[in-house]
Amino acid sequence: MADELQETGKKKKLIIIIVAVVVLLIGGGAAAWFMMGDDTPAAVESVNTPAQATKTEPAYYVTLPQPFIFNVTGDKRDRLVQVKVQLMVRGDDNESTAKQHVPLIESTLLQTFGAATVEELRTPNGRVELREKARESVQGALQKVSGRQVVERVLFTGFVMQ
């Protein structure tokens, strides 16, 4: 009788282990199915806007020949700032337009940079705001000349404030 109790105890343990393994396998399979499921949405209409059309053109980077060196006013003393700038444009036409109008771009950027203060340029957010102001002013100047948006981004590839 003791042998029968040991055998039934071993069988119960074996059944519990088998059930646990089956539950784990089913749970793992279900998790994998949900995680690797099809990510494509069900009927999405494709609308081709001009902004999307320009995103498909290759990006070109136009390096301005000289870094910008300018003074900024501060609370205690003026500081000297040096900024190296590159312009991101899309397509060959925009690249040639940007290269053709480098003097206009440089003049516009100098005006924008000249309005900055030390307090603005000390913080990363201030530099981001200056970069956005520079993008907007360059886009506006080139819009007047070429009739289209030429520059997508203004990038600071070097920034030193002393």
> Looking at residue 14, what is its pLDDT?
87
Position 98, amino acid: A
CATH of domain 50-161: 3.30.479
> Looking at residue 103, what is its pLDDT?
92
Q: Could you tell me the pLDDT band of residue 106, with boundaries at 50, 70 and 90?
A: very high
Residues 40-72: tens digit of each pLDDT: 554 444 444 444 445 688 999 998 889 999 888
Mean pLDDT (the chain) is 82
Domain ranges of the chain: 1-37, 50-161
- What DSSP designation does 115 have? T
What is the b/e burial string over 129-157, where b = at least 16 CB atoms within 10 angstroms of the residue's CB?
A: ebbebbbebbbebbeeeeeebbbbbbeee
User: Could you tell me the two tokens for 129?
Assistant: 């705001």
Paired with 70 in beta bridges are 81
> Looking at residue 133, what is its pLDDT?
93
How many angstroms separate the Cα of 43 from the Cα of each of 33, 35, 39, 40, 46? 21, 21, 12, 9, 9
> Looking at residue 1, what is its pLDDT?
57
Q: Is 91 left (phi over 0), alpha (psi -120 to 50) or beta?
A: left
pTM tops 0.85: no
